[in-house]
A and B are shown apart, each in its own frame.
Chain A
Amino acid sequence: NAGVTQTPKFRILKIGQSMTLQCAQDMNHNYMYWYRQDPGMGLKLIYYSVGAGITDKGEVPNGYNVSRSTTEDFPLRLELAAPSQTSVYFCASSYSNNGYNEQFFGPGTRLTVL
C-alpha cells in the first residue's frame, strides 16, 4: 500500500492564483482530513469528510473548498490565494471506528504565496 499520497510536494503561487492540492489514499478509509501547519504551531483542521459525498468544515475553512467524489480522493481547492495561506498542508485518513482511530498522514505539500 502507498498509504496517503499528496501532490505536489512544493508549490509557489502568486497572490490571487488558484490551485488544487491532491490527496489520495489506498487503505479504503472512510474518514479523510485536511490540516494546515504553520511554523511552531500545531495542526489546524480545514475540512474533513466522513465518506464519499459528505464533507464538513473544520476550524479554519475560509479560503478553501473540498470535494469527495470517491472514497480514495479528497482534493483541497484554494481560490484567490493569499499570503496568509502560506503553510504546510497535510492530508490524513482514518478508519471509521466511532472516533477511536489513528490518523495516517501524507507527506505534506509546502505552499508559498507571494
Chain B
Amino acid sequence: GQQVMQIPQYQHVQEGEDFTTYCNSSTTLSNIQWYKQRPGGHPVFLIQLVKSGEVKKQKRLTFQFGEAKKNSSLHITATQTTDVGTYFCAGRGAGGTSYGKLTFGQGTILTVHP
C-alpha cells in the first residue's frame, strides 16, 4: 500500500532559526495536504498542493510539491514560539477511487527554544 515517510521525526531549534520538514511518498500523489497539531490539540489544515512543482507561501511558511509529485516540503523562516507543534503531511494516491482518503506521514515534532 501507499506509504508516506516524513523526516526528521524531531527538530529542536532556537527561536529565529529556520526549519524544514520533508515528506516522501512511495507512489505518485494526486495532491498533498499539510496539517499542524499543537501540543494536546487536534490536526488543523494548513494548505493543499495539487500541481507538479507547485510552491505556495503563507507568511513565513513555504510549501513545495515535487516535480514528480512524490515529495513535498514545508519550510518555516525565522521560527517563533507559536510555531511549536507537530507538522503532518498527508497525501492521496493518484488514480483509482480513494474516496478522499489521505495517508498521513508520521509527523515532525518541532520544538522552539526562546
Point out residues on A near B: beta carbons under 8 Å: 31, 33, 35, 40-45, 48, 50, 56, 58-59, 90, 92, 94, 96-97, 99-108
Selected A-B contacts with CB under 8 Å, 10 pairs: A31-B99, A35-B104, A42-B4, A42-B88, A42-B106, A45-B101, A58-B101, A100-B31, A102-B45, A106-B42
Q: B31: which A residues are within 8 A, CB to CB? A: 99-100
Alpha-carbon distance A103/B48, docked complex (angstroms) = 11
How many residues of chain B are within 8 Å of chain A by beta carbon?
29
Query: Separation in Å of the B32 CB from the closest CB of chain A?
Result: 11
Q: Is the CB of A48 within 8 A of B99?
A: yes
Q: Is the CB of B100 within 8 A of A99?
A: yes
Given contacts A42-B6, A103-B35, 15 further A-B contacts (CB under 8 A): A40-B106, A41-B107, A42-B88, A42-B105, A43-B88, A56-B99, A59-B1, A90-B42, A90-B43, A94-B100, A99-B30, A99-B92, A100-B30, A100-B48, A105-B42
Nearest A-chain residue to B97, judged by Cβ = A99
Q: Is the CB of B105 within 8 A of A48?
A: no
